[in-house]
Amino acid sequence: MGAIPLHSANNTAHPCILDFHHIMATSTPAWTNGDLYTWVGPTTGGNWSDVSNWSYDGAPATHVPDTQTNQGTVTIPSGVTVTVSSATSTLSGVNIKVAGTLDIASGTSALAVNNLEVASGGTANIQRPLTANNVLQVDNGGTATFSNVSQDWSGYPGLKPSIATGGTLNFDNSNITLGSVSGSGIAGNLNISNGSTVKTASNSTTITGPITVNGAGTSFTDSSALQSTLTLNDGAKATITTNSPC
């Protein structure tokens, strides 16, 4: 059979061609599922925004995970360090699971994600404000550290932490107001150091894990019904207000 003409005798488009374009226009773009992304870049020093560091569904990626990657979860594997540079301002559609190390560089704007999970053995080093549509989740054995960050987590857009028993949340030289929490709240280790000022906005912050405040100029202020142990070292200060009857 001969080739199908692009136009019919009356110079109108052939219906098969129209159907083909319709199919192409409505197909799902090949970068929306985070489960299909695999890191193939270097074990250290790799940039999230370099497309050559990713494969998608077994083939070289043509698009990095970004706001359009709104399905599944992008995983940073154990033994790998990935950097989100200051040039990246939003990953708002992306669910991220960190089994290795994720370094979020300092920047002039907050970084938006959909969900950030730091798995057992994983580390997230965060040097600018972070917002999440869902939650900052730190599993047993995971560690999230905020350095040189000033942010009110109680406002919108804010950040709801869910720190499991055995997980660790560190604040280093940071000014943080904690608000509502997710799940069991902060059940893991909360470490405040190096001149940080951390406070709870209201009694909506549930903290049951141990709190350690280190160093002169470092302070913790709690206005919720504190349910954890509090340790002050080297001139650190704490102000505790409780609504519980004395």
Rg (CA), the chain: 23
Asked whether residue 32 carries a pLDDT value surpassing 70, the answer given is yes
Banded model confidence at residue 26, pLDDT cuts 50, 70, 90:
very low
Convert the pLDDT of each residue in 151-204 to its tens digit.
999 887 789 999 999 999 999 999 999 988 888 799 999 999 999 999 998 667
Structural tokens at position 196: 């940080």
pLDDT at 243: 53
pLDDT at 134: 87
Average pLDDT of span 93-122: 96
Banded model confidence at residue 10, pLDDT cuts 50, 70, 90:
low
Asked whether residue 111 carries a pLDDT value surpassing 60, the answer given is yes
Asked whether residue 44 carries a pLDDT value surpassing 80, the answer given is yes
Q: How many CA atoms lie within 13 A of 223 on its CB side?
A: 11
